[in-house]
Structure 1
Amino acid sequence: MKKLLPDGISDFKTLIENNYYYVDKTPFIREVGKNIGKSLLFTRPRRFGKTLNMSMLKYFFDVRDGEKNGKLFKGLEIENSPYFEEQGKYPVIFISMKDIKEMSFDKAITEVKNLLKKIYNQFEFIREKLNEGELIEFDNIWLGKNDENLKSSLLNLATFLKKYYNQKVIVLIDEYDTPLISAYRYGYYNEAKNFFSNLYGSVLKDNTSLQVGIITGIVRVIKAGIFSDLNNLSEHSILNKEYDEYFGFLEKEVKNALKYYEVDSKLDEVHSWYNGYRFGDTKVYNPWSILKFLSEKEFKGYWIDTSENYLIKAILKGANKKTFEKLNNLLFGKEVKEEITGKSTLQEVLEAHDLWELLLFSGYLTIDKKIDKNMYIIKIPNKEVKEFFGDSFIEISFGTNLTFKNLIENLLDNEIEEFEENLQEILLKYMSFYDVSSIEKVYHSFILGLMIHLEGKYYIKSNGEGGLGRYDIAIEPLNKNLRGFILEFKVTDSEENLEKKAEEALEQIKDKKYYISLQDRGIKDITFVGMAFYKKLVNIKSLEY
């Protein structure tokens, strides 16, 4: 009988005891455990194994039930390491902030208080070794009597545990930035930043009680901002080579999983859908999507649907022409170079001053290669993410996609009059989004963006060579029996010239013989589409060839 697939299970003990399929990441324990006195920040996209790794660390190091927990690692790589001697030796504080997503600061603090009460309750037995003053501080959090020590509650608990066990403490803070992202969204970021800076920072810089501190999150920061005075912080992002193999699935790990579940013949498709991420020098697959595919045996977007994508939606809604053009280039596989400095504070990233850094560290883009110190070529990692941009870009940007889908269907069905009517309606409603311009590339980028979801059935080519020049857009069907299209754009300075300019665009397609490139590839039916724009108005002329 095959092992069960751990869809959504992030508790290491549950996974092992119930014989779920597990990709062995236990060497991570040895590597992070060496950093005595340090705090390590790991930033990775959501659903790339952060919480499971943190749970694994908890069960390995925790002095409570140490012998029992040691059995969880039987047969795993760490069991054969000399470092296994460290198993079950340390008190562990494990706090996950993944569910703190409140709409106000007061509600967020209430949820943090409730979370801390539960954590304190796990250690109520240590009260026997606390003095009278320490008991008051413990009970203030445990029983919710007083909020004065809330900001120092993790520090105090570490101090109490150190006293009880006479052993330094391992502190695990999972998804540190979740409450901060919500705070930014709902307008109380500064209050939240001050609170969480103290809550996290006080315990992580305490050399007297801290053995090792591990923090995980999505958004990358340096020492500025929330960790401004944390001198012992060592940050490991997707740009760093260290620890790059411990988040996400490696090629060999995916091959083994596909073989185990007898779908290894699908490796090439799995690669195109879910691979493509680069962490340091290592290429990795999206683990959530791999596990979901193994469960459902269907190629579709799994990871992309696990979040409301709030930050990304906000960025797309506010994208300017330059940003929109670069996104179009990414969608159509063109090279995009960006400077990724890593000098952003969390707030700057959230405010999208560093748009590409946010897209990169959130998993919507990845590094193709490094050019210089801070200069990288970035790309969309795989088909799953590309489909998100293609299928959702219009809806995210405009709030609806029904008219847009009808528009593309009109074109593909060669219903040019209906295509013009729908396009005119869209321009009148939405063109202000692009800051109406006399520049042709604005309209070009707009139309091109509508075509991205056709990939898989059509080749979409922009500014390609054909005949005696360069056409604006060619739509080439993979099925040679379907109709192809050549689109040419013109912009005019007056409404009166619209029809004339559309005719000029149509004549240009014929005169320059742009259609030859499609003919040479076996496309028999081709429609020429000349399009002229004046602000929010459009005129279209067409010819079937």
Structure 2
Amino acid sequence: MKKLPIGIQTFAKIREGDFVYIDKTPLVHQMVNSAGRFFLSRPRRFGKSLLLDTFKELFEGNQALFKGLYIEDKWDWSTTYPVIHLNFANGVIESREDLDQLIYNLLKENQQRLNLMCDQFSLHDPAGCLAQLIQMAAAHYQQQVVVLVDEYDKPILDNIDQPELAASIRDGLKNLYSVFKGQDAFIQFVFMTGVTKFSKVSLFSGMNQLKDITLDANYATLCGYTQQDLETSFANHLEGVDWAKLKDWYNGYQFLGEPVYNPFDILLFISNQHTYRNYWFETGNPSFLLKLFRQQRYFLPDLANIEVGEEILDSFDVEHINPITLLFQAGYLTIDQVEESAWGGQIYHLRIPNKEVMLALNNQFFAGYSQQFDQVGYQKSLYNALTQANFPAIQQQIESLFASIPWRNFTQNDLPDAEGYYASVLFAWLSSINAVIIPEDINNHGQADMTIMLGEHIYVTEIKLDKTEAYQPTQPNPALAQIQSKAYAQQYLAQQQEGKQVHQLGLVFNKHARNLVQMDWQTL
């Protein structure tokens, strides 16, 4: 049984060490034959670094590593190319000076590997050195140069919640990347990868020849594992697995072609004796997204029903950040389906890709909203209360949750004024216990704020926000009265015959108390 390439991003180590390798060279061959300039965005831990290293070994002519692969008898091994490889994946950049030092170190490594040296090499002119290095390599090796850039955007993303610093770092990278346009005559192939796609104007000024294959169906499986990969190359490692459950947990990343698994998830799932956990999410969390959601008062339940145009998924800049774009490009949302709009263009329907991301993302938002350290205890108490329809306990859990949210979360913003804020907190909290939630649940009379399904119980829920200084509970409860008058629960009554219990739940929050101030219910 072949070994698992956990954490290995070097093509030679995998090929020489008898590790499982999924042959991506059919798509690699398709790309290198065009002698093009490509850009690919994929979430972290998707195998981008291994892919770049594959290109490096191919262009450097290391034929032995490709023995038995698709490209072996289709590539001219007698021709080799000088390769410049810039890898921004390592370390954390916290200042423009850090970026300058990193670029200096990367250029120094490439000069040493190519046995070339820039005439004037300093921290202050990285673009000049890179341009000279491309020209010198082409002249010395009598071949055009291959340029590979890994995680081109990481220095910016490290500081995305600090716009001024992020803009300064972006400008430093723009200065470096601008070299590629001027040196195009000396370049054979360019491949750049990253998590996000910044606008060409802001980062790739003039690089109109850079082809974005992020949502090109021809390259949908260039990174990631397909279902066939798992059932063939990993067949022995996954013997006895519940395929439906595995797919529900880790599959579902869609780039307009065949859906794929995150390789990191699968490798750790196998190595941990088929234990289902949040492997990918645990390696990093979207804390910067939580800050953006607070700043923009984004309605978290909207993640369950998103329709966007092409411009939203295309790119962004640090001065104008759309959280949906970031969520999509970072892998927390994926494409569900695409349709043609009546007025021309594409409409993309987005969804959370799988159970791992859904549970982990909502756990993260729940933890971000609340400072309670006993998250498991809260989740267990809430789960028990909902599965037993214990309404006093449900009310106590909701009150405790909002009481745990720090006061500083409300300073210098108007979050308590937004009904959507309270719905967002509840949505994250309920999703973290794997409840099925239908936000803005529509019937022929209107829509309930959310319907919660867990165990044998269905809770049709309406939320009202009161803004008076000192709220006094009233009867009837205005939230419950709306559910009753609009017959929001009517569509679920048939499920009573299947053993389900249907409840109507009215919640009233107060902006000054920043908490639940009235809750009433009715079981049908």
TM-score range, shorter chain: 0.7 to 0.9
Q: How does 1:432-451 map to 2 (within 5 A)?
A: 435-437=415-417, 443-451=422-430
Q: How many residues align?
A: 504
Q: CA deviation at 1:495?
A: 6.2
Identity %: 25
TM-score, normalised relative to structure 1: 0.81
* Greater fraction helix: 1
Residues 221-243 of structure 1, C-alpha deviation per residue, up to 9 Å, x if partnerless? Answer: 34311111224322222x22232
Q: Which residue of 2 aligns with 1:85?
A: 76
- Alignment match, 1:54: 52
**Residues 66-145 of structure 1: pairs in structure 2 closer than 5 A:** 66=61, 69-81=62-74, 84-86=75-77, 89-99=80-90, 101-124=92-115, 126=116, 137-138=118-119, 140-141=120-121
Give the deviation of 1:245 after TM superposition: 2.3
Letter in 1 for 2:55: L
Aligned partner of 2:301 in structure 1 is 328
**Runs of 5+ unmatched residues, structure 2:** none
Deviation at 1:368, TM superposition (A): 1.3
Q: CA deviation at 1:78?
A: 0.8
- Within-5 A mapping of 1:155-170: 155-170=131-146
Matched, 1:425 2:403: yes
Contact 1:221/1:343 (<8 A) preserved: no
CA pair 464-30 structure 1, distance change in 2 beyond 3 A: closer
Q: How does 1:200-211 map to 2 (within 5 A)?
A: 200-211=177-188
State the Cα distance separating 1:380 from its structure 2 match: 0.8
Paired amino acid for 1:500: T
Within a 5 Å distance, the mapping from 1:62-461 to structure 2 comes to 62=60, 66=61, 69-81=62-74, 84-86=75-77, 89-99=80-90, 101-124=92-115, 126=116, 137-138=118-119, 140-141=120-121, 146-147=122-123, 149-182=125-158, 184-186=160-162, 187-237=164-214, 239-263=215-239, 265-296=241-272, 297-320=274-297, 323-324=298-299, 327-331=300-304, 335-341=305-311, 346=316, 348=317, 350-351=318-319, 353-372=321-340, 373-398=345-370, 400=372, 402=374, 406=378, 409=381, 411-412=385-386, 414=390, 415=393, 418-419=396-397, 421-422=399-400, 425-426=403-404, 429=407, 435-437=415-417, 443-455=422-434, 458-461=435-438
The CA deviation at 1:363 is 0.9
Q: State the distance in 2 between where 1:173 and 1:472 align.
A: 46
What corresponds to 2:16 in structure 1? 17
- Kept in 1: contact 2:447–2:488 (CA 8 A): no
Cα shift at 1:316: 2.8
What does the per-residue CA deviation read over 1:243-274, in whole Å, with 9 as the maximum and x for residues that have no partner?
A: 22211122211222442314354211111111
Specify the SS of the correspondent of 2:85: strand
Deviation at 1:358, TM superposition (A): 1.7
- The 8 Å contact of residues 98 and 175 in structure 1, kept in 2 or not, is answered as yes
Q: Residues 485, 74 of structure 1: CA spacing in aligned structure 2 closer, same or farther, 3 A cutoff?
A: same
1:31 to 2:30 alignment: yes
In 2, Cα distance between equivalents of 1:35 and 1:88 = 16
Deviating more after overlay: 85-94 vs 44-53: 85-94
CA deviation digits over 1:423-453, x for unaligned, max 9?
562579456766334x866644543342112
| Superposition TM-score, scaled by structure 2 size | 0.84
1:48, 1:248 within 8 Å by CA — same for their partners in 2? yes
User: Tell me, what secondary structure is at the counterpart of 1:341?
Assistant: helix
Distance change in 2, residues 1:306/1:205 (3 Å): farther
Q: Does 1:42 align with 2:40?
A: yes
Could you tell me how far apart the structure 2 residues matched to 1:506 and 1:513 are? 10
Shift of 1:371: 2.2
Quick one: structure 1 residues 400 and 28, their matched pair in 2 at CA, closer, same or farther if it must change by over 3 Å? farther
Task: Tell me how far apart the structure 1 counterparts of residues 405 and 495 of structure 2 sit (CA, whole Å).
Answer: 29
Alpha-carbon distance between aligned partners in 1 of 2:398 and 2:137, rounded to the nearest angstrom:
71
Contact 2:46/2:264 (CA < 8 Å) preserved in 1?
yes
* Matched-pair contact (CA < 8 Å) for 1:403–1:426: no
Tell me the CA shift for residue 282 of structure 1.
2.8
| Separation in 2, partners of 1:404, 1:498 | 33
Superposition deviation, residue 109 in structure 1: 1.1
What is the Cα deviation at residue 310 of structure 1?
A: 4.2
Q: Distance in 1 between matches of 2:512 and 2:377?
A: 20
The separation in 2 between residues aligned to 1:343 and 1:465, in whole angstroms, is: 27
